[in-house]
Amino acid sequence: MTVRAAPWWRRGRGARSRLRRTALVGLLIGVLLLAGSGWVGFRGWQTRGHLLVAAELARELGAHLVGGDVEHARATLSALQERAAAARRATADPGWALGRRAPYAGDDLTAVRQVAVTVDELAHRAFPRLLGLDLEDLLPRQGRLDLAGLGAAEQDLAAADEVVRQARTRLGGVPAAGLTRQVDAAVTELRAEVDRLAGLTGAVSRGAALLPPLLGVAEGRDYLLLSQNLAELRATGGMFGAYAVVRAERGRIRLVRQGTAGQLGHFLPPLPGVSPEMRGLYTDLPGIWPADVNLTPHFPTAAALYHEMYRRRTGETVDGVLATDPVALSYLLAVTGPVEVPGFGRLTADGAVRSLLSESYLKLDLRRQDEFFARSAAAVLETLLARSAQPRALLSAFDRSVAEGRILFWSAHPEEQRTLGESRLTGVLPEREAQPTVGVFLNDGSGAKLGYYLEPSAELTVGGCRPDGRHELRLRMSLHSTAPRSGLTPSVLGVGRAGDPYVVRTLVYVFSPAGGTVLRARLDGTETPLGSGTERRRQVAVATVEVGPAGTRTLEVDLLSAPGGTGGAELRLTPTATPWTTHIHTASPCHQ
């Protein structure tokens, strides 16, 4: 099972495909579990039949939406609504109401009723609004976004979000105690999926409301666009290298100027803004060097530090920071087509990552490398704003980029940042979470540009429940190096802190779930010492992993969740040049 999450950019700007697909797949899981619960009585079997058909219709609707077949999606939604309404009616008659008062079976029948109502409410009041969104309103036309269209989309999204929040409250009122195992599992799964959907619609709704001020509808806004260099890993992706200043005014976006982190120099004494607990993990480096502000995975801290460094060096204050990386650029290029980078030739979807993170170090000096990065980001941005693209494909590219943590945003306006909340787009690990989230973040320890050659994987297994209601978790992550044994340039090999310059040294930071604990770790099966610290209610374990050419190292970490876990789990990972391979194995919830 792969990781899923919910940033507003990803879900708001790609709402009509991935958003409903995630919601419908979640409902499908719930109703399929309910189908095998062994209900008795004619109405129970009727309801079972309706929900089984609804499950199949949900599957079809998701396929139509992903394929862009809106006409068939509307017809399928109509059939889904009919079946959902029938299930709701079947659980509303006097016989069912009487059965809900009966001992033993009453709790199960009450829970099934709440599930039927939830499915029906979503099918009739939430999904139609989401299906009706006009994707054209979410995309720029000739360099400008239609703010009026965004306003209309905001109303639909707010209404859908209200329905989803009501469904969440309804399911939250179903008691966990007294249910049969099958019904309990079904309610738990559906509750988790509706929680996820509520995170999506809430973030999307807030994002739509924020877009007009962010895009300068009242007054112009300036933003720093940072390029993360994945060849030298940092927790949020890569060190911040090239930057551009982008201006948004009355919905129109244009590039103002470009520069590099190296031009900002360093800062002594270190800038304030690095907490004592963060200094315990990363020393003072985030407050000294622009390239080290994102040693922490907490993007608001990194962005605020870079924002202040830029202000002190240039005297200019910007309204926010947007970060992306070459892999995200490649996703966009797959939609827009190749772009010409002045002075450097053509950049393509298939070749962008290799050109920017490997070939540039073999062919260009340091000054030209920075120039190539800056011009490439600018060329893709300008093409994105000016060139017509298929809305569904473009929003899907944003969807994937945000899901992988490759697009991050921070607003310098506190009220806007609070509204954005905790999501993948903001680069925040939630301090309170519906299900345990484990973070695995990588920082280069080689002083080199060897991150391009790493291929990471992670597997998270949710184990049994302890007497205190905590889940046992086991993380197994591997780093494989595809680096050659010779032939790389000094600009790639750097200072070679691992001794052998072709050995990749990586500092692995494992963040426990909120309120959880890191217990122990093994490197290639042998107990390994860990550095330790805390950051925002999470214990952090630090391991140094060195891997040579063609080698693979495996780190296993045992953790505990906070009490009362749902049995699900999430992973948050440092985006890398080669996307992670991930698997999550869930378990039954713990009840205290």
For 530, the token pair is: 């860990």
What is residue 25's predicted lDDT score, i.e. its pLDDT? Answer: 40
- For 163-186, the pLDDT digits (tens) are 888 988 888 787 766 677 777 776
Helix, strand, coil distribution of the chain in percent, nearest 5: 45, 25, 30
More confident residue, 31 or 493: 493
How distant, in Å, are the alpha carbons of 292, 321, 371, 377, 449 from that of 306?
9, 8, 19, 18, 21
Across the range 350-379, mean pLDDT stands at 87
- Percent pLDDT > 90 in the chain is 44
Name the least confident of 211-215, 274-278, 398-402: 211-215
Side-chain-side CA neighbours of residue 365 (13 Å): 1
Name the least confident of 132-136, 172-176, 497-501, 581-585: 132-136
Quote the CA–CA distance of 592 and 554 in Å, as a whole number: 34
39 pLDDT band, cuts 50/70/90, is very low
Q: Is the dihedral of CA 248, 252, 255, 257 positive or negative?
A: negative
Name the least confident of 87-91, 311-315, 487-491, 565-569: 565-569
Across the range 106-123, mean pLDDT stands at 82
What is residue 516's predicted lDDT score, i.e. its pLDDT? Answer: 95
3-state SS, 196-209, equals HHHHHHHHHHHHHH
For 394, the token pair is: 């473009």
- For 24-34, the pLDDT digits (tens) are 444 433 443 34
Strand partners for 462: 473
What is residue 97's predicted lDDT score, i.e. its pLDDT? Answer: 72
What is residue 362's predicted lDDT score, i.e. its pLDDT? Answer: 86
What is residue 574's predicted lDDT score, i.e. its pLDDT? Answer: 98
Note whether 504 and 446 are within 8 A (CB): yes
Burial class (CB in 10 A: 0-12, 13-18, 19+), 159: middle
Q: Which residues are within 8 A (CB) of 554 and not within 5 positions of it... i.e. 6 or more apart?
A: 476, 477, 478, 523, 524, 525
What is residue 19's predicted lDDT score, i.e. its pLDDT? Answer: 46
Burial class (CB in 10 A: 0-12, 13-18, 19+), 272: exposed
- For 198-213, the pLDDT digits (tens) are 766 776 777 677 777 8
Instruction: Say if residue 144's pLDDT is above 70.
Output: no
Instruction: Say if residue 254's pLDDT is above 50.
Output: yes
Side-chain-side CA neighbours of residue 497 (13 Å): 13
Show me where the domains of the chain are located. Answer: 8-214, 221-411, 431-585
SS3 label, residue 92 = coil
What is residue 375's predicted lDDT score, i.e. its pLDDT? Answer: 82
What is residue 4's predicted lDDT score, i.e. its pLDDT? Answer: 42
Please identify, in words, the CATH class of the domain defined by 431-585: mainly beta
What is residue 109's predicted lDDT score, i.e. its pLDDT? Answer: 78
Mean pLDDT of the chain: 83
How distant, in Å, are the alpha carbons of 84, 133, 146 from that of 137?
31, 8, 6
Place of tokens 């966990």: 176
Instruction: Say if residue 476's pLDDT is above 90.
Output: yes
Quote the CA–CA distance of 42 and 250 in Å, as a whole number: 60
More confident residue, 40 or 566: 566
How distant, in Å, are the alpha carbons of 482, 525, 569, 590 from that of 522?
23, 5, 21, 27
User: How close are the terminal C-alpha atoms of the chain, in Å?
Assistant: 27
Note whether 398 and 270 are within 8 A (CB): no
What is residue 103's predicted lDDT score, i.e. its pLDDT? Answer: 65
For 585, the token pair is: 């194995």
Domain 221-411 grouped into CATH 1.10.287: no
Across the range 126-144, mean pLDDT stands at 70
- Percent pLDDT > 70 in the chain is 82
- What is the side-by-side strand order in the sheet with 531-535? 531-535, 538-547, 504-511, 437-444, 570-573
- For 406-429, the pLDDT digits (tens) are 999 999 999 999 888 887 889 999
Phi/psi for 535 (5° steps) reads: -155, 115
More confident residue, 375 or 581: 581
Instruction: Say if residue 402's pLDDT is above 70.
Output: yes
Note whether 389 and 141 are within 8 A (CB): no
Instruction: Say if residue 17's pLDDT is above 50.
Output: no
More confident residue, 423 or 376: 376
SS3 label, residue 106 = helix
- What is the side-by-side strand order in the sheet with 237-249? 252-260, 237-249, 221-234, 320-324, 408-411
What is residue 45's predicted lDDT score, i.e. its pLDDT? Answer: 59
The backbone region for 177, taken as left when phi is positive above 0, alpha when psi lies in -120 to 50, beta otherwise, is beta
What is residue 142's predicted lDDT score, i.e. its pLDDT? Answer: 62
Name the least confident of 225-239, 248-262, 414-428, 470-484: 248-262
Name the least confident of 186-190, 515-519, 562-566: 186-190
Instruction: Say if residue 75's pLDDT is above 70.
Output: yes
Quote the CA–CA distance of 238 and 243 in Å, as a whole number: 13
For 542, the token pair is: 């630090």
C-alpha 422, offset from chain centre: 10
3-state SS, 276-307, equals HHHHHHHCCHHHCCHHHHHHCCCHHHHHHHHH
C-alpha 64, offset from chain centre: 24
> What are the helix (H) ranges across 431-546?
490-493
5 pLDDT band, cuts 50/70/90, is very low
Note whether 558 and 520 are within 8 A (CB): yes
Note whether 200 and 168 are within 8 A (CB): no
From the list 226, 574, 217, 221, the residue with the least C-alpha distance to 381 is 226
Note whether 248 and 221 are within 8 A (CB): yes
SS3 label, residue 460 = strand
More confident residue, 251 or 317: 317
Across the range 565-570, mean pLDDT stands at 82
Q: Which residues are within 8 A (CB) of 468 and not within 5 positions of it... i.e. 6 or more apart?
A: 563, 592
